[in-house]
Amino acid sequence: MRASVLRNGSMVYRDDVPEPEPGPDQVLIEVDACGVCGGDLHFAQHSSTLVELAGQMSGAPSLTDGLDLGQDVFMGHEYTGEVVAAGPGTDAPAPGTIVTSMPALISDRGMEPRLYSNTLPGGYAEQMLLSAPLVLTVPNGLDPRLAALTEPMAVGLHAVNKADITPGTGAIVIGSGPAGLAVIAELAAAGVAPIVASDFSPARRQLAEAMGAHAVVDPATEEIFDVWRRTGSGVPVVFEAVGVPGMLDSILRQTPFSTRVIVVGGVMEPDQLRPYFGIAKEAEFRFVQAYTPDEFAETLRQIADGELNVAPWITAEVGLEDVGKAFEELGNPEKHCKILVRPNA
Amino acid sequence: MRASVLRNGSMVYRDDVPEPEPGPDQVLIEVDACGVCGGDLHFAQHSSTLVELAGQMSGAPSLTDGLDLGQDVFMGHEYTGEVVAAGPGTDAPAPGTIVTSMPALISDRGMEPRLYSNTLPGGYAEQMLLSAPLVLTVPNGLDPRLAALTEPMAVGLHAVNKADITPGTGAIVIGSGPAGLAVIAELAAAGVAPIVASDFSPARRQLAEAMGAHAVVDPATEEIFDVWRRTGSGVPVVFEAVGVPGMLDSILRQTPFSTRVIVVGGVMEPDQLRPYFGIAKEAEFRFVQAYTPDEFAETLRQIADGELNVAPWITAEVGLEDVGKAFEELGNPEKHCKILVRPNA
């Protein structure tokens, strides 16, 4: 079958990938849509550094455990598709049903994330396998392209849940890329106000407003904390969704006393900060990633029930041959937010 | 009167300081004992950097606002003393009563910390002023030298309270200087187990055990997280009480998934860490400082009721003439933990 794979830092089109065969408790789907995640771009550029960093870490599994960068890597973890078949004795939706699932596989070792794999095709392929217990039926009538945004939106719901925002507290969202936009949409859905968001890109600021931000800031001309102080809304919860070095220190310097900072942006490089500022402010950092199965299911429900306005995210659709081009084009925030790969369209 | 003041980075003995006069809502005490705080040593060495850093910070007041390092600086914030007089119309304990208070003064601007001052003598002086509403009577019979340890122990109580430790969760305490020891003692008082603590100094490890640590580790020979894993006690709350650059990154690399880190050690230098590890672990940093008035009062009660064993902390007593020497000697953890200045002994 056809697929786009990561090879030596580039996305390469292949038409010779073996078709996956569903085993027990597995469901085979024909992929309808798969969003290109900023994390995939990042991984394509920095995969060897990420594997090296994971090796320096103990105490928790990493997303790259067992991965061999000398071989092709399958990616694509924001998908929907149509059920084709199921493994022997597997309880699965009927063929033709549109489904999604969080990007994980259940094995003897429990539930393991499946974002990068040498052996298992992901959403940048014609077909892929899901674990039956994780499969969610896309509610009748919801466009599979919108349902494919469940995964990135669930990141926002998880971040907002982790923030434990008390009633009456507003939020600052620094950075309005997909992660920041998901946070804004989920904050708005939770009734948090005001939401003040920033981004250097005018297009992204417009999207931030479409997602529910009450005020948007261009950091080239204004400091978001100055804007916040003008609104006079007390101590915000701050979401860091830029993911470049220096942001955490900048937040600590400017934020009010007793601020909780939810770190969504994944800086891979060494980052420098002054703990002194954290102490002086009694600040709190909560680093977050991904979501729980319940949060994933809840996000799908929110989209299906029209509580999240995700349609404006989708700025292009491409076939498997053009995944590499999509990776390049996503560097321009004026032009693109979310590109969907549609392997079978 | 006599006092020891910070001048150009050194503690200088003076006998020509004007005696303070209590105004309304102020109480004048004759200082009995004042502990030398590690923070004071740090401030003496790095005062200009700290003032500069405070100037780079907005959104919260700093301890050095308005301070002029070109003039003498009064310090000393771990004190007890005997009431001498009170300001006009002030509700205060009778002269002769042994009292303490948290190091703050109440003014038109509210409650302000008073750790460094160009005008108001602190505990390294014969006499000092307290704010009447903050004055606590030392319970009958408690040695004023032990009561002087209320302030550093309250730092431990605050850190433990901020940790929101759930029943069944144990703790790692990295660094067994005064801040780490206070944390250990308050963890033990709260019934937290196991408590695994580390320090390079054998004397400090012995004190850690005396404070209630169930296991102590020499980081020169063992990684505290390896020791923790051997005990098999799940995810600990980690207290960082060393305060040197690199500790936060080291914790993120080694700690289990979903660890809460209470940052007690105040690193003033730029510190480097990989946010990537924080994300991969969904770690949490809570930077903490000081304590609330309620925590301060509760700590005094704990000491008076014998719930905290603070006596082993006191390793020497000096007069006002020898404060400079005490600052030097405290550099040796084998010899000293807490030196008390006794201005009137």
Among the residue ranges A283-292, B55-64, B80-89, the one predicted with the least confidence is B55-64
Residue B250 has pLDDT above 90, yes or no: yes
Residue B76 has pLDDT above 90, yes or no: yes
Q: Model confidence over A116-174: pLDDT tens digits?
A: 999 999 999 999 999 999 999 999 889 999 999 999 999 999 999 999 999 999 999 99
Q: Model confidence over B10-47: pLDDT tens digits?
A: 999 999 999 999 999 999 999 999 999 989 999 999 99
With cut-offs at 50, 70 and 90, classify the pLDDT of residue B231: confident
Contact A250, A223 (CB under 8 A): no
Chain B residues touching residue A285 (CB < 8 angstroms): 278, 284-285
Task: Give the mean pLDDT of A104-120.
Answer: 89
Is A270–B268 a contact, with Cβ atoms under 8 angstroms apart? no
Give me the pLDDT at residue A206, please: 97
Give me the pLDDT at residue B161, please: 98
Separation CA B237–CA B132 (nearest Å): 37
Q: Is A140 on the interface with B (CB under 8 A)?
A: no
Determine the distance in angstroms separating the CA of B97 from the nearest CA of chain A, rounded to an integer. Answer: 34
Residue A85 burial class via C-beta count within 10 angstroms: exposed 0-12, middle 13-18, buried 19 and up: middle
Is A273–B269 a contact, with Cβ atoms under 8 angstroms apart? no
Give me the pLDDT at residue A297, please: 98
| Residue B334 exposure: Cα atoms within 13 Å on the Cβ side | 2
Separation CA B309–CA B303 (nearest Å): 7
Is B59–A281 a contact, with Cβ atoms under 8 angstroms apart? yes
Chain A residues touching residue B274 (CB < 8 angstroms): 53, 267-271
Is B279–A287 a contact, with Cβ atoms under 8 angstroms apart? yes
Give me the pLDDT at residue A107, please: 82
Q: Is B248 on the interface with A (CB under 8 A)?
A: yes
Give me the pLDDT at residue B140, please: 80
Give me the pLDDT at residue B308, please: 95
Domain ranges in chain B?
3-149+310-341, 153-287
Q: Model confidence over B187-207: pLDDT tens digits?
A: 999 999 999 999 999 999 999
For residues A152 and B232, the model is more confident at A152
| Mean model confidence pLDDT for chain A | 95
Give me the pLDDT at residue B108, please: 83
SS (H, E, C) chain B: CCEEEEECCEEEEECCCCCCCCCCCEEEEEEEEEECCHHHHHHHHHHHHHHHHHHCCCCCCCCCCCCCCCCCEECCCCEEEEEEEECCCCCCCCCCCEEECCCEEEECCEEEECCCECCCCCCCECEEEEEHHHCEECCCCCCHHHHCCHHHHHHHHHHHHHCCCCCCCCEEEECCCHHHHHHHHHHHHCCCCCEEEECCCHHHHHHHHHHCCCEEECCCCCCHHHHHHHHCCCCCEEEECCCCCCHHHHHHHHCCCCCEEEECCCCCCCEEECHHHHHHHCCEEEECCCCCHHHHHHHHHHHHCCCCCCHHHEEEEECHHHHHHHHHHCCCCCCCCEEEECCCC
Residue A331 has pLDDT above 90, yes or no: no
Is A59–B257 a contact, with Cβ atoms under 8 angstroms apart? yes
Cα dihedral value A313, A318, A320, A323, nearest 10:
-70
Q: Which CATH superfamily is domain A3-149+310-341 in?
A: Medium-chain alcohol dehydrogenases, catalytic domain (3.90.180.10)
| Residue pointed to by tokens 């991984």 | A43
Is A275–B276 a contact, with Cβ atoms under 8 angstroms apart? no
Tokens of B19: 């005696």
Least CB-CB distance to B53: which of A225, A265, A274?
A274
Q: Is A263 on the interface with B (CB under 8 A)?
A: yes
Helix (H) or strand (E) holding A299: helix A293-304
Question: Domain A153-287 maps to which CATH number in 3.40.50.720, 3.40.50.450, 3.40.50.1820, 3.10.20.30?
Answer: 3.40.50.720
The reported pTM is 0.95
Give me the pLDDT at residue A111, please: 84
- Name the 3-class secondary structure at A295: helix
Least CB-CB distance to B59: which of A63, A256, A267?
A256
Chain B residues touching residue A251 (CB < 8 angstroms): none
Tokens of B148: 């002087």
Give me the pLDDT at residue A70, please: 96
Q: Say how many Å lie between the first and final Cα of chain A, rounded.
A: 15
Q: Model confidence over A68-93: pLDDT tens digits?
A: 999 999 999 999 999 999 999 999 99
Is B287–A288 a contact, with Cβ atoms under 8 angstroms apart? no
Residue B232 has pLDDT above 80, yes or no: no
Among the residue ranges A175-184, A256-265, A280-289, B328-337, the one predicted with the least confidence is B328-337
With cut-offs at 50, 70 and 90, classify the pLDDT of residue B268: confident
Give me the pLDDT at residue B241, please: 97
| Mean model confidence pLDDT for chain B | 95
Residue A60 has pLDDT above 90, yes or no: no
Q: Model confidence over A285-317: pLDDT tens digits?
A: 999 999 999 999 999 999 999 999 999 999 999
Find how far residue B272's CA is from the centre of its chain: 25
Separation CA B2–CA B8 (nearest Å): 19
Give me the pLDDT at residue B233, please: 78
Task: Give the mean pLDDT of A193-217.
Answer: 97
Is B288–A282 a contact, with Cβ atoms under 8 angstroms apart? yes
Is A277–B253 a contact, with Cβ atoms under 8 angstroms apart? no
Give me the pLDDT at residue B198, please: 98
Least CB-CB distance to A279: which of B225, B255, B263?
B263
Give me the pLDDT at residue B265, please: 86
Among the residue ranges A12-16, B111-115, B149-153, B178-182, the one predicted with the least confidence is B111-115
- B82: CB partners within 8 A, 6+ apart: B29, B30, B32, B95, B96, B97, B98, B99
Which A positions 1-60 lie with beta carbon below 8 A of chain B?
50, 53-54, 56-60
Residue B2 has pLDDT above 90, yes or no: yes
